[in-house]
Structure 1
Amino acid sequence: MPAGALFAAPEWPRLRLFRALRRRGYVRVGGRRRLPRGLGSALTIALFAGIGLYGAFAGGHVDRFRAENGTLSDAVARAFGFGIRQVVISGLAELRPAEILAAGGISPNSSVLFIDPAAVRQNLEAVPMIREASVRKLYPNELAITITEREPFALWQRNGEVFVVAADGTVIDFLNDARYTRLPLVVGDRANVHSADYLELLDAAGSLRERIRAGSLIAGRRWNLILDNGLEVRLPEANPTAAVARLAELEESDRILERDILVIDMRLSDRVVMRLGVEAAAARAEAAKKKPASGKEADI
């Protein structure tokens, strides 16, 4: 082995190689035989791959080589100009490019030649924030990625934890960003997948919408509204938007939300039932005691 060499390349079986090529046939040009087009490049790549693999195994540095350079095939591809020099990402709103690269498994050791666009797309679409992704190779050294994000649509409270959810109910993340605190809040099992129904109720509330703080899904069938003063409005299972519109009319005409009321029950179509607060109930009881026997109201 020559001085300074890291390893000695093995002796290639030249005679058998030439015989094999002779059997497969050369391309004859001007009375001279030449190798088929592309075979020389393939043999060169194979030579470098063989030398690199031999050296890695001979030195016992396979794990270190992979950690520093990726797979051998990617390393060879990068040496021939197929490394990923640029990744063009479009469609980002909330996510960052670094998050896309990490989720897709794309690193400086990757190569355009051996990266699998279908696998990258599958990895990206496993991210809750990503609804759809497409990945294309742009030879020799670029990737193009298009992302369609899920938009934060509502907050979902369940078992004491609050999540950011998309319109289809997909949980995007825990609520850890102040930007999302003003999203509509739904509470209860499977309320996340019915959040679009809750927003229809908010739209029907008109000016009353600003006072509604949350919607609680009851048994997966109907909603209770929680207002900013703690008042609970129980809506019917059938046609709840009409009930909300009626509530808005009552507030406009009678200011019922200003009263000492704990619960407004609108589940019956022909009446509105109200449960008074402690003070209002006591005052009502006291007033009832002062009524004269004739049934006329007592003077106050």
Structure 2
Amino acid sequence: MQQVDHRTPRRDPAPSRWAYRMHRLWLTPYVPRLLRVGLPLAVSALALLYVFMQPENRTALTDMIAEIRRTVAERPEFMVTEMTIENASEELTADIKEILPMDFPISSFDIDLVAMQKVVEQLDAVAHANLRVKPGGVLELAVTERLPSVVWRAPGLLELLDGQGRRVAALEERGRRSDLPLIAGIGADTEVPEALKLHAAAAPIADRLRGIVRVGERRWDIVLDRGQKIMLPEDEPVIALERVMALHEAQDLLERDLSVVDMRNPNRATLRMRPDAVANLHMIKGIELGDILQ
């Protein structure tokens, strides 16, 4: 008769598949770090989220932050008590103060320097503006002002323009800026650099120059006193005007009884006499012809 072995079976020392996988996972670098750092952070975040879900808690926190900010912002070292404007004329200074009303003292935390700069640079007379808060509670505004170079007359307009044709200011009457050259005509404001070159080329007759007129938005006329006019071509008008100045210096061209010097065809200048000069010429020729016939 066989005997039954009632001894307890021996335990397998090898780990189970699940225990093996968990052990390998624990040996990876990020799992222990996640449990040590990530888990407390997650619990804290959930706790904060629960707190902020309560309206009264959110209101209390907002009020506390606002009070802290107000306390810091109103400290004496952060208060601005005055504004200075550098490199600006009296008229421009008055315009700036009008568009930037400041109620001093004011905290520097409540001043938007970028927005203020954009507002100031919208003024026609301002090319660039730079703002900063200096020690001592001073808001400094340094301005690069556009300087007028010409007076532009157009239908219903009389304006000051800078050397690039940008508007500086309106002008009530020409006599207030008689020191500046006068340009006229539609489109003249877009060709100010060329007009200034023409004005420089006409320096020998500057005392007789009355204006530089844009014709048809494509060419210029030089208007002089005594009703004289120099008509310039579309292309290279400065060179054409310099030729007229050379003729004038050599032969006193513009001192003669001429009404128009037409340079629209640079290869063939055309001179037009005054009507009274033509009549006098015809009369003289008639007298000479009568003397011959007698």
Which interval holds the TM-score relative to the shorter structure?
0.5 to 0.7
Counterpart contact for 2:184–2:213, Cα < 8 Å: yes
In the alignment, the residues of structure 2 paired with residue 181 and residue 252 of structure 1 have an alpha-carbon distance, to the nearest angstrom, of 26
Out of 259, 264, 273, the position equivalent to 2:256 is 259
**1:186 is the counterpart of 2:176:** no
SS of match in other structure, 1:127: coil
In the alignment, the residues of structure 1 paired with residue 189 and residue 90 of structure 2 have an alpha-carbon distance, to the nearest angstrom, of 20
**1:143 is the counterpart of 2:139:** yes
Query: What TM-score results when the alignment is normalised by the length of structure 2?
Result: 0.68
In the alignment, the residues of structure 2 paired with residue 266 and residue 277 of structure 1 have an alpha-carbon distance, to the nearest angstrom, of 17
Corresponding pairs, count: 233
Out of 145, 153, 156, the position equivalent to 1:157 is 153
SS of match in other structure, 1:113: helix
SS of match in other structure, 1:132: strand
Query: What's the % identity of the aligned pairs?
Result: 26
Per-residue deviation, residues 254-291 of structure 1 (Å, max 9, x unmatched)? 32323332221111223321222221111222344456
- Higher helix residue share: 2
Out of 80, 88, 95, the position equivalent to 2:84 is 88
Give unmatched runs, 5+ long, in structure 2: 1-46, 49-62
Per-residue deviation, residues 43-91 of structure 1 (Å, max 9, x unmatched)? 49639x9xxxxxxxxxxxxxxxxxxxxxxx8xx8886434421223322
1:52 is matched with which residue? none
In the alignment, the residues of structure 2 paired with residue 124 and residue 169 of structure 1 have an alpha-carbon distance, to the nearest angstrom, of 20
**Larger-Rg structure:** 2
* Root mean square deviation, CA, Å: 3.3
In the alignment, the residues of structure 2 paired with residue 143 and residue 94 of structure 1 have an alpha-carbon distance, to the nearest angstrom, of 18
1:220 is matched with which residue? 217
Counterpart contact for 2:79–2:108, Cα < 8 Å: yes
2:55 is matched with which residue? none
| Equivalences for residues 19-34 of structure 1 within 5 A | none
In the alignment, the residues of structure 2 paired with residue 263 and residue 77 of structure 1 have an alpha-carbon distance, to the nearest angstrom, of 75
Q: Which runs of 4+ in 1 moved over 3 A?
A: 42-45, 76-83, 93-99, 176-179, 287-293
Q: 1:228 to 1:77 in 2, by over 3 A?
A: farther
Q: CA deviation at 1:248?
A: 1.5
Counterpart contact for 2:81–2:106, Cα < 8 Å: no
| Equivalences for residues 158-173 of structure 1 within 5 A | 158-173=154-169
Out of 109, 116, 121, the position equivalent to 1:120 is 116
In the alignment, the residues of structure 2 paired with residue 186 and residue 97 of structure 1 have an alpha-carbon distance, to the nearest angstrom, of 28
More divergent stretch after superposition (171-180 vs 231-240): 171-180
**1:200 is the counterpart of 2:197:** yes
Per-residue deviation, residues 176-202 of structure 1 (Å, max 9, x unmatched)? 486522201100112122122111112
1:273 is matched with which residue? 270
Counterpart contact for 2:159–2:168, Cα < 8 Å: yes
In the alignment, the residues of structure 1 paired with residue 252 and residue 227 of structure 2 have an alpha-carbon distance, to the nearest angstrom, of 16
